Structure 1
Amino acid sequence: MLRRILAVPAGLIAGMICITIIEKIGHQLYPPPAAAGSGDMEAMKEYVASAPFMALFFVIIGYALAAFVSGFTASKIANNGKHTSAAVCGVIFLFITLYMMFTLPTPLWFWVLGVLVWGLVWVGSQFALKTRKI
């Protein structure tokens, strides 16, 4: 029972680490203005509205990796043979993603990929369930 309770926070933490790492790489290649990093939401909106494709695509790559890793981690830790913990992680991340997309002026392709990519939690979960139990 404890494993199933801890599986979701562990999956969320693993996913957040993935997003952070990939976005840091993206920011090294496509640096946002200093004001955008200081919490100035208007500066961030301006940056997102004019950001090059790859700057935004790094966010999608981060989401994809986070989806897979969080699904894998949650299912592996839950160790109950079900996708439930992974699905909860995916839904939580999806709601966060939707909030960010409503807040920032993201293009249509970002909306489509930003929603679809969270389906990868199932792929990560499936992979976890097929590998040797811990």
Structure 2
Amino acid sequence: MGRTILGATVGLVVAFFTIMLVELASHHVYPPPPGIDPGNTADMAKLIGMLPFGALLMIVLAWVIGAFDGGFVAGLIARKGHPRAAAIVPALMVMAGVVGMIVVMPAHPAWMSVAGLLLPMPAALAGAWIATRARRQTR
């Protein structure tokens, strides 16, 4: 049980940092225009309306890759415990972040919301599955 909790916690941290890194890369590929205040909801809604499809896709990819990485690490750490249960925690937190994004900035396209709610769970479970398979093969 302890390894499952540890795996879920570390997986959550890994998911968070992965999302930050992918979104940082996105800002380099698609830099926001000058004068946009990220703390201002109206500015962010305006920015979202101006972003090209690729920039929006990179945000969704950040969520999915973050959930996958979090699930993978959670699965590695949880080992024989409950790797899938550990992987669900990062996925649920990514999905909670998507819900928060939907509530705070409803200007996001609907496809982003749908993808952000549907894709993190299978991504995290796939990460945990790969981690358990990799662990079995190294024994």
Q: Same fold (TM over 0.5)?
A: yes
CA distance in 2, matches of 1:31, 1:39: 16
Aligned CA distance change for structure 1 residues 32 and 124 (closer, same or farther; 3 Å):
same
CA distance in 1, matches of 2:37, 2:18: 19
Match of 1:112 among 72, 92, 114: 114
CA distance in 2, matches of 1:99, 1:42: 16
How many residues are matched?
134
1:95 counterpart residue number: 96
Percent of counterpart pairs with the same letter?
Answer: 28
Matches within 5 A, 1:16-55: 16-55=16-55
Residues 35 and 44 in structure 1, CA contact (< 8 A), matched pair in contact too: no
- Report SS of the residue matched to 1:131: helix
- Report SS of the residue matched to 1:32: coil
Say whether residues 1:122 and 2:136 are aligned partners: no
Say whether residues 1:72 and 2:72 are aligned partners: yes
- What RMSD in Å do the two structures reach over aligned CA positions? 1.8
**TM-score, scaled relative to structure 1:** 0.89
**TM-score, scaled relative to structure 2:** 0.86
CA distance in 1, matches of 2:126, 2:102: 24
Amino acid at match of 1:130: R
**1:90-122 alpha-carbon deviations (Å, 9 max, x no partner):** 112111111112222111211221112212111
Q: What stretches of structure 1 move > 6 A for 4+ residues in a row?
A: none
Aligned CA distance change for structure 1 residues 35 and 7 (closer, same or farther; 3 Å):
farther
Amino acid at match of 1:125: A
Say whether residues 1:63 and 2:63 are aligned partners: yes
- Distance apart, 1:34 and its partner CA: 4.2
Gaps of 5+ in 2: none
